[in-house]
Structure 1
Amino acid sequence: MNNRTRWLVLVLVLGVAGVVALWPRDEAPGPPPTPSRPSQDVSALRAQAQLRPCVPGGEGGVEVTCLGDGTRTALALKGPILINFWATWCQPCQEELPVLDSYAKQPGAVPVVPVLVESREADGLELLARLGVRLPSVHDGSDELRKRVKAPMTLPATYYVAADGQVRQITDPPYFKAPEQVEKAVR
């Protein structure tokens, strides 16, 4: 192969590599990007959401942010308690949150703690206010709580923590559509 042919092959290979590098690709599935918008007054959103106060979880808990007042608190895996991981972009989560709120208002209900993940606090507060959900809710921005219970990345994900500390994921149903389903799952 002469020099001219070698140069031609080199230019052709570099051209193909450049086209491949710049070719648009499908994005991996996952949450849609959060649109940029001006920062909001989170205290106004907290007032609008009117969430019930978070209950401090005690020693050995995972540090999370209480959405109701913005304080850092430890959420311990001490039961009985129902922990629900959700995100603002998750449609089944939006359907399930009012059901959990309705269940939690029943006498003798197991305490329910919605845990916002993969979303900004402000977006979570806006959604909770729009849905009329007043449950004491937390934000797990670092995903530490989700890692502790070994929760999958799919949402929603709900866990029942028994009085003896045993943690089990509730998979049937995949998400709650009626308070009676929650009652059955925590028995």
Structure 2
Amino acid sequence: MVRLTTGARWTIVGVVLVAALIAVMLLQQREQLRRPGADPNDQGLVAARERRDADTPEALAELRRQAQLPPCPQSGSTPGPSALATISLECAADGSTVQVGLALAGRNVVLNLWAYWCGPCADELPAMAELQRRAGDKLTVVTVHQDENEAAGIARLAELHVRLPMLQDGARRIAAALRTPNVVPTTILIRADGSVARVLPRSFTSADEIGAEVEQALGVRF
């Protein structure tokens, strides 16, 4: 039987206490991020990463070529949603940086929050693409990938033959800023004046179904 010295016992106690303290701090950070008013750009509050280290421009080049995603919207003519004003994300089409608030300004927008591993998201994305085809310039549909595996997100859109703009948001900055439920898919309807008209934490099965919500909330008919 091995007997621990007093010093060894105190060392073990110290290690346990430090581990417990780290766990508490991580939990507090996650709770802070969920609280109303939490700054999604505060690096101390963001538990997840925007993307994996493996998702370099070189590693994503071939996936981007296969997916043929359209460019993300750029600056509009009026102030965008104030909650998104300080958020900058990567556009999956070409790796460019998008200032989200400015990019959505002056547009009627459908933001579709999703993740590559989400089954209902995969069922819904083709309907989102059809909605954009029907609406034309009257509406801007933008997908927001909420997982740090950017490569898997681009590959999923390519597999589904969905060609919509994709913002890479592994840290869920948009969801935190708009205080949406922690579920995917979630669709956010934003008016041209930058105000949020509706948050829809549910899945859709057709462009008609989404279009009915768009017409009622944004007054856009097509």
Could you say whether these structures have the same fold, taking a TM-score greater than 0.5 normalized by the shorter chain as the test? Answer: yes
**CA apart distance, 1:61:** 5.0
Q: Percent identity?
A: 33
Identify the match of residue 134 of structure 1 among 137, 158, 163. Answer: 163
Which residue matches 1:49? 67
1:118 aligns to 2:147 (yes or no): yes
Moved more, 89-98 or 52-61: 52-61
TM-score with structure 2 length normalisation? Answer: 0.62
Greater fraction helix: 2
Identify the match of residue 83 of structure 1 among 111, 120, 128. Answer: 111
Unaligned ranges ≥5, structure 2 = 1-51, 80-84, 216-222
Which residue matches 2:200? 170
**CA apart distance, 1:55:** 1.2
Query: In the aligned structure 2, how far is the partner of 1:180 from the partner of 1:110?
Result: 14
TM-score with structure 1 length normalisation? Answer: 0.73
Which residue matches 1:24? none
Which residue matches 1:93? 121
Is the 1:99–1:176 Cα contact (8 Å) retained in structure 2?
Answer: yes
Q: CA RMSD in A?
A: 2.1
**CA apart distance, 1:176:** 1.2
2:90 match: secondary structure: strand
1:169 match: secondary structure: strand
Equivalent position amino acid for 1:136 in 2: P
**CA apart distance, 1:121:** 0.8
Bigger radius of gyration among the two? 1
Query: What are the Cα deviations for residues 107-140 of structure 1, in whole angstroms up to 9, with x where unaligned?
Result: 4452100000024110001100000001011111
Runs of 4+ in structure 1 off by over 4 angstroms are none
Query: In the aligned structure 2, how far is the partner of 1:101 from the partner of 1:112?
Result: 8
Which residue matches 2:91? 66
